[in-house]
Amino acid sequence: MRKAYISSDRLTFLMYKKLIQPHTIVRLNLLTIIWWCDMNNKNISQNINQNENDNELQNLQELGQVNIPDFESSIFTLPIIGEIEGHGELPQGRKSTKYEHVIPQLLAVEQNPKYEGLFLIINTVGGDVEAGLALSELISSMKKPSVSLVIGGGHSIGVPLSVSTNHSFIAPTASMTIHPIRTSGLVIAVSQSFEYFKRMQERIVSFVEKNSKIQKDRFEELMLNNREMANDLGSILVGQNAVDEGLIDSVGGLSDALIKIQELIDERKAEN
């Protein structure tokens, strides 16, 4: 049934011309209210549908899928993927993790009571040494429980990131490359340059030794290994090898990491 809007001025005019009786005004006004409610509900429904369509389009553009799980978790998941971007911006088209984006997220996890723990998922080729080491230091200094899971690869500066959490996991087929630090661009061939690289490398070795079970001498031996790579120094550890060397705590996957971080959260609650 189609209902038309009748204004108060129009009702007054009809009554003056005696084209409408007073007792019918209540019914007409009621119809007007019903019509307005119907139109308002239709507008609300259209807005909801439009918002849902916009959200699906945004998910499709950013995540490659239309529907994503709608679940509020107390564990904050932080992916470290691609190359870790530091003071210099990487070329367009290369996957990267910008450390200036990660730092506020770590601050939010530590301060927001909504989050009880941090889950770090790592698949990185490495990147800026100081940026990666800075993130590693921040994560290791957090009071809230943290767990890392290396999938694919945790290479180069990804090694300190992998061991920066309270407990570390590596997937059975994931690998980690340990090698001396390197640089690109202009290098002045003087003793001071080599001394700088040595000190930088000592910072990385010291952090890894402090946050894992591997010994300093063994880590340096793996770093300077010249029998494994054709064009570089270093070693590649795959899955269980990283655990056997004391670099990573356990071999496992997603469910193992989630179970462990929940255990750490429960322990922290019991202590408090």
Active site residues: 156, 179
Give the contacts of 184 (CB within 8 A, at least 6 positions apart): none
* Spatial contact of 118 and 145, defined as CB atoms under 8 Å apart: yes
- 243 three-class SS: helix
Q: What is the DSSP letter of 98?
A: E
* Spatial contact of 106 and 143, defined as CB atoms under 8 Å apart: no
- Joined tokens for residue 258: 């989630």
- Joined tokens for residue 134: 């800075």
Query: What gap in Å lies between CA 272 and CA 263, rounded to an integer?
Result: 14
Query: What gap in Å lies between CA 178 and CA 247, rounded to an integer?
Result: 11
